[in-house]
Amino acid sequence: EPGLYIVATPIGNLGDITLRAISILRGAEAVACEDTRVTGRLMQHLGLKKRLIRHDDHADERARGGLLDLAADAPVALVSDAGTPLISDPGYRLVHEARARGLNVVTVPGPSAVVAGLAIAGLPTDRFLFAGFLPQKAKARADVLAELAGIRSSLVFYETAPRLVAALEAIGQALPGRTIAVGRELTKMHEECRSGMAGELAAHYTAHPPRGEIVLMIGPPVAEAAEDIDIDALLAEALTTDKPS
């Protein structure tokens, strides 16, 4: 069926491609991608030869229009270099405009590092806020962390190995006392998930500089939870005192 198919691809382990992703890619008229070499390798691994069209959110109106014209008549797949398109990856404008045109937009879900990390971190997952990449500059990073500090949920960021220690130190300052988990090289040979306090982890990764790809996760504020318990206790006490004896 014609339309725009948003296809998730592996985040490091080729075995994680879904059966449906393979079948959609096989049937696609064209595959829009971030880097034709990266997607070319995936297609080669799958034994598929397809027209690859480089696309990102900076593409001009005309290039995007061309892809959407194509999707109006035939199935067009959108993939990113790894994981789920649109999640800290290009595709937002394309999907937005495809929907505005009334095209068929179909999700073909699969791996995403944010979910893969949360699934093994051992942090509460009932509420989480994914905030993409932290800013690189110290001031901007501190501002974002200060803004998120009061949010009562786990926080998830994408981070790069060279910036991990600086990020952990900034988190230690802005969100003291919270449990941190670092998910690294998920689904790959050297998958690791390490948790602790910001200071402990900063010390560890200073001594053992990390390599590879990283999801940085922060548990919810503990002080706030304790305050809740206090309020409940106070309320219970108040109610008990009011009861006629």
| CB contact set of 77 (below 8 Å; sequence gap of 6+) | 5, 6, 7, 24, 25, 28, 30, 31, 32, 108
Give the shortest CB-116-to-ligand SAM separation in angstroms. 7
Of 128 and 158, CB closest to ligand SAM: 158
Q: Taking the complex as a whole, how short is the minimal distance between the CB of residue 223 and ligand SAM, in angstroms?
A: 28
In the bound complex, what is the minimum distance in angstroms from residue 227's beta carbon to ligand SAM? 32
Q: How far is the CB of 91 from ligand SAM (least distance, A)?
A: 9
Helix (H) or strand (E) holding 233: helix 222-242
Q: Which is nearer to ligand SAM, 89 or 94 (CB)?
A: 89
**Residues in the site for ligand SAM, rule: CB under 6 A?**
11-12, 80, 82-84, 87-89, 112-114, 158-160, 183-188, 213-215
Residue among 101 and 187 whose Cβ is closer to ligand SAM: 187
* Strands of the chain, DSSP E: 3-7, 30-33, 51-54, 75-78, 105-108, 128-133, 154-160, 180-184, 192-196, 213-218
Q: Which is nearer to ligand SAM, 72 or 165 (CB)?
A: 165
Cα torsion at 66, 68, 74, 78 (round to 10°)?
100
